[in-house]
Amino acid sequence: MTSCFQTRVLTVDPSAPDPQIIAEAAAVIRARGLVAFPTETVYGLGANALDERAVARIFEAKGRPATDPIIAHIADLRQLDTLAHDVPSVAYALARRFWPGPLTLVVLRRSVVPANLSAGRATVAVRMPGHPVALALIAAAGVPIAAPSANRFSRPSPTTAAHVLDDLAGRIDLVLDGGPAPIGVESSVVDLTADPPVLLRPGGVTVAALLELLPGLTFAPRYLTEDDGAAPAPGMLVRHYAPDAMVIVVAGRREAALVRMRNEALIAAEAGKRVGVLAFDEDVPELVDLPVQLAPLGPATEPGRVAQRLFAALREIEQSGVDLILVRDPGQEGLSLAIRDRLVRAAEGRVIIAEPS
């Protein structure tokens, strides 16, 4: 599909959005339009979640396969029961603890929810986002808002309005620019229809926090390639976040990993490849003499800041036209698990473990 219309951009105050701008955006949603808006995780591409044709437009604009279901965003806890039936009591406990916030719950879908939203599944994913602009938009629209991340399929998620426009200008009606997304990685997705519940995607709520209310929670990260055939759960394809360049995650102790990254960079540069490194701030002095493009990720000791930078850094380094991107394994502690998940997907599963020399 080629771009066929102008995408409008309206700037909003992220903490106190102008009700008139929100009303305008809500009118676009009700008229079956597409509105990109900030959430606390990443920018979402919103449409009326109860309107099958509006939802279909999301798939078309993103180039997203119809087999990958979309999250319905709500602004009021009562909307959960209008979308889902037989909601387990733990869902309300999770909602009280984590909503509004970066947690998505997969529950049983009511028939008012169009089947295409859920890619034909009997379930629906629901989340109440913790961002004033998102909450105001949903409330003003008066309907739940279907919203995947507002990127083209298999591009890094957008954390600014500029990222949204890079991918979707001319394909959507409106972008609400509320500045950078505060968290920077997507919500944690928990399937409550499985017994025990399954973490389908690590995200803004840590596993440790989830385990307090879901002691039986299981997480088996599987990074599938398209050759593996049908994915057991949607959204598990490693290509999901892949930039154009080849990405390699280098794991192991810091010193060994840095030695390995230097070697890989020098070998690739020798072979005429352009190399980029996503570097933790404290690693920069060890890498700065290399013939590589460096993109700082923030301090390794502050995963919150790394999460904020992650997708922008991936986009920047990709735009610099490199053939190979090296990044050190951030570990799996707290928010780092979500960061690692996105990097391993961007790397299409390529993780090398550096041994001490």
**Chain residues in the site for ligand TXA (CB under 6 A):** 39, 41-42, 44, 68-71, 102, 104, 106, 118, 121, 123-125, 127, 129, 147-149, 186-187, 189, 191, 200-201, 233-235
Quote the least distance from Cβ 256 to Mg ion, whole Å: 33
3 state SS of 354: coil
Quote the least distance from Cβ 42 to ligand TXA, whole Å: 5
> Closer to ligand TXA at the Cβ: 100 or 276?
100
Query: At residue 342, what are phi and psi to the nearest 5 degrees?
Result: -65, -40
When CB distances are held under 5 to 8 angstroms depending on the partner's kind, the choice from ligand TXA, Mg ion, none that residue 147 binds is ligand TXA
When CB distances are held under 5 to 8 angstroms depending on the partner's kind, the choice from Mg ion, ligand TXA, none that residue 44 binds is ligand TXA
> Closer to ligand TXA at the Cβ: 191 or 264?
191
Cα 196 to chain centroid distance, Å, stands at 24
Quote the least distance from Cβ 46 to ligand TXA, whole Å: 8
C-beta of residue 168 within 8 angstroms of C-beta of residue 45: yes
The full DSSP string for 33-96 is --EEEE-SSSEEEEEETT-HHHHHHHHHHHT--TTS--EEE-SSTHHHHHHEES--HHHHHHHH
Could you say whether residue 123 binds Mg ion (CB under 5 A)?
no
> Closer to ligand TXA at the Cβ: 123 or 336?
123
When CB distances are held under 5 to 8 angstroms depending on the partner's kind, the choice from Mg ion, ligand TXA, none that residue 206 binds is none
Of 127-156, which residues contact Mg ion (CB under 5 A)? Answer: 149
- The CB-nearest residue to Mg ion is 149
Q: What tokens appear for 171 in the block?
A: 């394909």
Beta pairing, strands 43-48 & 103-109: unpaired
Quote the least distance from Cβ 223 to Mg ion, whole Å: 15
> Closer to Mg ion at the Cβ: 110 or 222?
222
Quote the least distance from Cβ 62 to Mg ion, whole Å: 8
When CB distances are held under 5 to 8 angstroms depending on the partner's kind, the choice from Mg ion, ligand TXA, none that residue 124 binds is ligand TXA
- The CB-nearest residue to ligand TXA is 235
Please choose, from the candidates 196, 193, 216, 219, the residue with its C-alpha nearest in 3D space to the C-alpha of residue 340.
219
Give CA–CA dist 208/227, Å, rounded.
33
Query: At residue 65, what are phi and psi to the nearest 5 degrees?
Result: -60, 140
Amino acid at 323: D
Element at 315 (helix H, strand E):
helix 303-319
The residue ranges that bind Mg ion (CB under 5 A) are: 149
